[in-house]
């Protein structure tokens, strides 16, 4: 495979959620270590699961991988990084400044922006640390889904430019104070990222149009910031032999081949490799070695199908949502589990029942327009685009706070608004604005993959704490976005997952995070289930049998509030197919 040849020091694997970045990153790291190299495997995903792949705790410190000589791993934990970052900045202030000033500084450092910058600080250290350079020949980065990763890779240049021109009075004063001391590190990080002799970007996709469009867009955006050493890997490709005697497998194979035959504009000339779909989950070093070694990970005997009742369909969840007449419905989960499709399907179904619906997304990589295609008359569509919202926010602030300022003060305000931290505030305000509509209609929200969504909820929580602190003792009633999310009569959060080990583990962690924030999920949706089909393909049957254990686990974790949606023979695009997906319409295609 071309992407495995002449591997430079740094390798980044990126792409939409659910395309197999983690499996490929772990397999590449194992292969390099087996060749006698010293390798560090790093996850920059706030919802990292490389520890699950190797069945051992890793966390925010370099840890040796058991059974793989020469391989260490690190999961950049945003919360742990933020805690260490805050302590470094606050420690010198204790005992030297008034208590009120210390409380103010602590509050400034409590937001999601500080969390992101702290994780970013660790990321740039990995690119520039001389001790790490001496210890490891390769650093393999398993990154967060595309939108979050592009922002991460843009940050070295963004912060360098901001520090070159800024006056030091940014909206995120705490992060800026630390960043100012790192100017040279960011310059070196930019140089490393833009040098194809030192950095390779592996774009990972599935053989479907949405995934390939996303890597084409990513390739363009990364080229704009000087990252040009790019390879494309199409992962999980169904082999032709499986399409010989099964209608579902044949439909999947033909759909994948059609997508590869019509690569989107922007992927011309890119070096393309493919990796076959495996019968087993990519857990453990043995299966990872087979993934890139060309050997099948298929066992010789077919396991027995577990006995038990048929899993429930989604009609019960839909009827419960519709009965409220209005409210916020949020779809959350790991990238690539089909949140966009499920959000679009639920929105279309509610609209078909005559209810007013606003479908929106916080995911920069979502393709909700293409998924819905033709909108019903009582349904509208929008997206919370970070770049658009940030520019709108800057213009509003300049038109209000900037009104009447002299030239020096206006220049300082403009410098403040050029801080990358401004995006956090802008996106949160757009989020709060959209969910206010849920008091009079349905708002169905497709969210960004788990880690990015949790950062948004962190910002929501920080705003809630600040408002309640300011209003304490005033006797006034206050309602914050967090209070709406915590109210099950106003908000229904549906966790979307696949019947696979890693997505279910991540969904469980998401549910625990939500509960700690006082938010109880309304139910789970197991999407694209092979166990809910009648496939005759041996490879797909093996995967279907393996799903039953995970579906049983979902039933337990959700307290029975779950539904299973089958994998479709036809891609669920357009209002009619979205309703077929939910069982609202009949299809002549086998599913």
Structure tokens belonging to residue 415: 């410098």
pLDDT at 172 over 50: no
Report residue 55: phi and psi, to 5°: 55, 45
Strand blocks (E) in 498-537: 523-529
Q: Judge if 319 and 265 occupy the same domain.
A: no
Tell me what pLDDT residue 151 has: 53
* Rounded Cα distance, 84 and 118, in Å: 8
| Sign of CA pseudo-dihedral 282, 283, 285, 287 | negative
Would you call 502 a catalytic residue per the annotation? yes
Asked if residue 52 belongs to a domain, the reply is yes
Most confident option among 7-16, 35-44, 265-274, 373-382: 35-44
Q: Judge if 512 and 405 occupy the same domain.
A: yes
Tell me what pLDDT residue 171 has: 41
Structure tokens belonging to residue 43: 């996850």
What burial letters (b/e) apply to 148-181, b meaning 16+ CB within 10 Å? bbbbbbbbbbbbbebbeebeeebbbbbbbbbbee
Structure tokens belonging to residue 92: 């010198």
Asked if residue 340 belongs to a domain, the reply is yes
Would you call 403 a catalytic residue per the annotation? no
Tell me what pLDDT residue 317 has: 92
Compute the average pLDDT of residues 170-175. Answer: 42
Set 15, 17, 20, 236: catalytic member: 20
Among residues 293, 328, 352, the one where a domain terminates is 293
Asked if residue 59 belongs to a domain, the reply is yes
Rg (CA), the chain: 24
Most confident option among 81-85, 262-266, 386-390: 262-266
Report residue 318: phi and psi, to 5°: -65, -45
In terms of C-beta density within 10 A (0-12 exposed, 13-18 middle, 19 or more buried), how is residue 538 classed?
A: middle
pLDDT at 462 over 70: no
* Rounded Cα distance, 443 and 438, in Å: 5
Measured distance between the N- and C-terminal CA atoms of the chain, rounded to whole angstroms: 34
Asked if residue 308 belongs to a domain, the reply is no
Would you call 473 a catalytic residue per the annotation? no
Cβ atoms of 102 and 93 closer than 8 Å: yes
CATH number for the domain including 500?
3.40.50.300
- How are beta strands 272-276 and 327-332 bridged, if at all? unpaired
Nearest-5° Cα angle at 150, 257 to 429 = 115
Tell me what pLDDT residue 66 has: 93
Cβ atoms of 423 and 111 closer than 8 Å: no
Q: Judge if 503 and 398 occupy the same domain.
A: yes
Tell me what pLDDT residue 159 has: 46
Tell me what pLDDT residue 480 has: 64
Set 14, 15, 43, 45: catalytic member: 45
Nearest-5° Cα angle at 364, 117 to 457 = 55
Q: Judge if 379 and 327 occupy the same domain.
A: yes
- Percent of the chain at pLDDT > 90 equals 30
**Contacts for 366 with CB less than 8 Å, ≥ 6 apart:** 340, 383, 446, 448
Would you call 165 a catalytic residue per the annotation? no
* Rounded Cα distance, 360 and 568, in Å: 24
Set 15, 17, 23, 533: catalytic member: 23
* Rounded Cα distance, 279 and 301, in Å: 12
Q: Judge if 245 and 361 occupy the same domain.
A: no
In terms of pLDDT, which residue wins out, 309 or 477? 309
Q: Judge if 503 and 560 occupy the same domain.
A: yes
Nearest to 19 by CA among 218, 222, 251, 267: 218
Helix (H) or strand (E) holding 422: helix 422-435
Structure tokens belonging to residue 407: 């030239």
Q: Please state, in angstroms and as integers, the Cα–Cα distance from residue 195 to each residue in 147, 227, 320, 503, following that order.
A: 22, 7, 54, 34
Asked if residue 309 belongs to a domain, the reply is no
pTM as predicted: 0.74
| Sign of CA pseudo-dihedral 468, 470, 473, 479 | negative
* Rounded Cα distance, 248 and 125, in Å: 48
Q: Judge if 258 and 194 occupy the same domain.
A: yes
Q: Judge if 346 and 201 occupy the same domain.
A: no
Q: How many domains does the chain have?
A: 2
Nearest to 378 by CA among 347, 401, 406: 347
* Rounded Cα distance, 561 and 555, in Å: 7
Would you call 23 a catalytic residue per the annotation? yes
Tell me what pLDDT residue 469 has: 52
pLDDT band at 181 (very low <50, low <70, confident <90, very high): low
Would you call 18 a catalytic residue per the annotation? yes
Edge-to-edge strand order for the sheet containing 230-237? 63-64, 71-75, 39-43, 138-142, 10-14, 199-205, 230-237, 272-276
Average pLDDT taken over every residue of the chain: 80
Q: Judge if 52 and 97 occupy the same domain.
A: yes
Asked if residue 2 belongs to a domain, the reply is no
Set 22, 115, 491, 529: catalytic member: 22
Q: What is the pLDDT of residues 420-461, one digit of tens each?
A: 567 767 777 888 888 888 888 999 998 875 555 555 565 555
Q: Judge if 239 and 321 occupy the same domain.
A: no
* Rounded Cα distance, 89 and 106, in Å: 9
- Percent of the chain at pLDDT > 70 equals 78
Q: What is the pLDDT of residues 346-374, one digit of tens each?
A: 999 999 999 999 999 887 666 788 888 88
pLDDT band at 312 (very low <50, low <70, confident <90, very high): confident
Tell me what pLDDT residue 34 has: 95
Set 14, 15, 17, 21: catalytic member: 21
* Rounded Cα distance, 193 and 229, in Å: 9
Set 14, 15, 17, 18: catalytic member: 18
pLDDT at 217 over 90: no
Out of 229-243, 303-317, 339-353, 517-531, least confident range: 303-317
Out of 94-108, 112-126, 364-378, least confident range: 112-126
Nearest to 284 by CA among 62, 75, 52: 52
pLDDT band at 256 (very low <50, low <70, confident <90, very high): very high
Compute the average pLDDT of residues 170-188. Answer: 54
Helix (H) or strand (E) holding 339: helix 339-352
Backbone φ/ψ region at 500: left (φ over 0), alpha (ψ -120 to 50), beta? beta
Out of 178-192, 221-235, 387-401, 418-432, least confident range: 178-192
Would you call 491 a catalytic residue per the annotation? no
Q: How many CB atoms lie within 10 A of CB 87?
A: 10
Q: What is the pLDDT of residues 30-86, one digit of tens each?
A: 999 999 999 999 987 766 788 888 989 998 889 999 999 999 999 887 677 777 777
Q: How many CB atoms lie within 10 A of CB 468?
A: 13
Q: Please state, in angstroms and as integers, the Cα–Cα distance from residue 273 to each residue in 86, 206, 289, following that order.
A: 43, 11, 17
Asked if residue 392 belongs to a domain, the reply is yes
* Rounded Cα distance, 248 and 571, in Å: 12
**Contacts for 268 with CB less than 8 Å, ≥ 6 apart:** none
Set 63, 502, 533, 535: catalytic member: 502
Tell me what pLDDT residue 138 has: 95
Q: Judge if 59 and 116 occupy the same domain.
A: yes
Tell me what pLDDT residue 554 has: 96
Tell me what pLDDT residue 308 has: 61
In terms of pLDDT, which residue wins out, 428 or 240? 240
Question: Which domain range does residue 48 map to?
Answer: 7-293
Q: Judge if 146 and 36 occupy the same domain.
A: yes
Asked if residue 567 belongs to a domain, the reply is yes
Q: What is the pLDDT of residues 565-590, one digit of tens each?
A: 999 988 898 989 999 998 866 544 44
In terms of C-beta density within 10 A (0-12 exposed, 13-18 middle, 19 or more buried), how is residue 559 classed?
A: exposed
């Amino acid at each position: 495979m071309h992407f495995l040849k002449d591997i430079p020091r740094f390798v980044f694997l990126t792409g939409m959620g659910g395309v197999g970045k983690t499996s490929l990153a772990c397999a590449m790291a194992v292969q390099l270590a087996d060749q006698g190299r010293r390798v560090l495997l790093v996850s920059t995903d706030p919802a990292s699961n490389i520890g699950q792949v190797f069945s051992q705790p890793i966390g925010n410190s370099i840890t040796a991988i058991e059974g793989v000589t020469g391989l260490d791993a690190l999961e950049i934990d945003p919360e742990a990084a933020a805690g260490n970052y805050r302590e470094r900045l606050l420690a010198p202030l204790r005992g030297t400044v008034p208590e009120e000033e210390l409380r103010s500084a602590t509050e400034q450092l409590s937001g999601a922006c500080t969390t992101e910058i702290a994780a970013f600080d660790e990321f740039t250290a990995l690119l520039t640390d001389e001790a790490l350079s001496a210890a490891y020949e390769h650093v393999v980065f398993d990154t967060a889904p595309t939108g979050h990763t592009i922002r991460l890779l843009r940050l070295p240049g963004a912060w360098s430019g901001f520090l070159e021109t800024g006056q030091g009075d940014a909206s995120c004063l705490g992060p800026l104070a630390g960043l100012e001391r790192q100017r040279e590190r960011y310059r070196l990080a930019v140089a490393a990222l833009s040098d194809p002799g030192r950095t390779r970007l592996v774009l990972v996709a599935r053989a479907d149009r949405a995934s390939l469009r996303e890597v084409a867009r990513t390739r363009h955006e990364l080229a704009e910031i000087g990252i040009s050493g790019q390879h494309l890997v199409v992962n999980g490709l169904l082999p032709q032999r499986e399409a010989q005697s099964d209608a579902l497998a044949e439909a999947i194979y033909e759909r994948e081949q059609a997508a590869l035959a019509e690569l989107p504009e922007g992927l011309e000339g890119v070096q393309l490799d493919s990796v076959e779909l495996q019968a087993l989950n990519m857990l453990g070093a043995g299966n990872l070695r087979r993934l890139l070694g060309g050997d099948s990970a298929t066992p010789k005997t077919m396991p027995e199908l577990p006995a038990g009742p048929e899993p429930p369909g989604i009609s019960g969840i839909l009827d419960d949502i519709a009965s409220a007449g209005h409210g916020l419905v949020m779809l959350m989960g790991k990238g690539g589990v089909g949140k966009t499709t499920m959000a679009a399907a639920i929105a279309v179904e509610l609209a078909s029942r005559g209810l007013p619906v606003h479908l929106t997304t916080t995911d920069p990589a979502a393709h909700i327009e293409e998924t819905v295609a033709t909108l019903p008359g009582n349904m509208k569509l929008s997206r919370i685009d970070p770049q658009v919202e940030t520019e709108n926010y800057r213009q509003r602030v300049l038109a209000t706070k900037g009104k009447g300022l002299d030239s020096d003060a206006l220049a300082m305000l403009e410098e403040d608004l050029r801080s990358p931290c401004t995006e956090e505030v802008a996106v949160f305000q757009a989020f709060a604005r959209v969910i206010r509509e849920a008091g009079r209609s349905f708002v169905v929200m497709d969210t960004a993959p788990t880690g990015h969504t949790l950062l948004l909820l962190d910002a929501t929580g920080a705003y809630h704490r600040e408002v309640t602190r300011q209003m304490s003792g005033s006797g006034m009633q206050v309602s914050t976005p967090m209070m709406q999310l915590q109210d099950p009569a106003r908000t229904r959060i549906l966790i979307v997952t696949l019947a696979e080990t890693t997505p279910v583990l991540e969904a469980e962690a998401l549910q625990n995070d939500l509960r700690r924030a006082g938010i109880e999920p309304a139910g789970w949706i197991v999407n694209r289930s092979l166990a809910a089909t009648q496939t005759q393909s041996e490879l797909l049957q093996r995967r279907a049998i393996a799903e039953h254990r995970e579906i049983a686990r979902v039933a337990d974790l959700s307290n029975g509030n779950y539904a299973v949606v089958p994998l479709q023979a036809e891609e669920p695009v357009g209002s009619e197919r979205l309703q077929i997906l939910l069982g609202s319409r009949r299809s002549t295609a086998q599913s």
